[in-house]
Structure 1
């Protein structure tokens, strides 16, 4: 299980040094993400993608839940209306279709919605700072925090996310 740590770094040089130190500390590159304002240089950094910068994952999960619930309700109504040979199979099938449609439609909306988790960093990012998002094993949180505090006094620790999505 991993926890997500947030740090604000003042400039590109600090962000690059931090990236190198995390790699040397054996944090895999795909667990290190940077967010910067549009047009900011990102050479040498692993930029965050839509999975980290949008509400896609949360929206897909909500869509699956709501879609399957509505699909199950529709399946029950259809079972009463048509009197099928296997009403349970009808309910389960319609619930599965509802879950798929709910996941798909909600993920389309969520991919275009900025992440609520990153909302508090918008002003700092707009001012030119770089946001570091790093997912570390629970057992290494203290070690990584101490490393960054020691090597980057210019950086600001911004907290630990209590619930990191299993994907990404």
Structure 2
């Protein structure tokens, strides 16, 4: 999947564009709208936590960092077992690795939920000036089709593209 980013000048343009995309077959769960607090979105599909923040990226980094730390910790316990403790070998390493990955993923997810999505940084000025950002998730092989369709009906839209994390 790819995410298309459209900056539209006002709420009316965004409502028209969203209606056209829905009619063309884009499901609501693939439409995400971001605007400043002064712009009421009413019935527009508001962007959720995963679109507005870096929580997914934080989860992935926490999983990798926590898993690595757990693996190293487990290997250290095997190499230098505490006095009087018989280490459980591979099971111990696997358990400590999994525990580290879980703790890391949880910790960095909680930290990242409060940081803005880095992909939205380019649009902060537009949003601050009352324009609306519409994000549309489309299959990678249909990217060109959707860009052409939208620009044919809404030449005022400014388009950007980003890859979505694999799920």
- Provide the TM-score with structure 2 as the length reference: 0.94
Deviation at 1:40, TM superposition (A): 1.4
Please tell me whether the aligned partners of residues 54 and 115 of structure 2 are also in contact (alpha carbons under 8 angstroms): yes
What corresponds to 2:51 in structure 1?
A: 52
CA RMSD of aligned residues (A): 1.2
Listed one character per residue, the Cα deviations across residues 4-46 of structure 1 (whole Å, up to 9, x for unaligned) are 1111000000000010011011011100101001131102210
What corresponds to 2:165 in structure 1?
A: 165
Deviates more, 1:125-134 or 1:138-147: 138-147
Q: 1:39 and 1:50 mapped to 2: Cα distance? A: 19
Of the three residues 114, 117, 135, the one matched with 2:116 is: 114
Please tell me whether the aligned partners of residues 30 and 137 of structure 2 are also in contact (alpha carbons under 8 angstroms): yes
- Equivalent residue pairs, number: 164
- Provide the TM-score with structure 1 as the length reference: 0.93
Q: 1:19 and 1:78 mapped to 2: Cα distance? A: 56
What corresponds to 1:142 in structure 2?
A: 144
Listed one character per residue, the Cα deviations across residues 90-144 of structure 1 (whole Å, up to 9, x for unaligned) are 0110000000000000000110000111001000000000001101012221111
Deviation at 1:153, TM superposition (A): 1.8
Deviates more, 1:94-103 or 1:71-80: 71-80
| Mapping of residues 44-83 of structure 1, within 5 Å | 44-80=43-79, 81-82=81-82
Deviates more, 1:83-92 or 1:138-147: 83-92
Listed one character per residue, the Cα deviations across residues 34-63 of structure 1 (whole Å, up to 9, x for unaligned) are 100113110221010110011110111000
Q: 1:132 and 1:146 mapped to 2: Cα distance? A: 16
Listed one character per residue, the Cα deviations across residues 69-104 of structure 1 (whole Å, up to 9, x for unaligned) are 101111112223146353111011000000000000
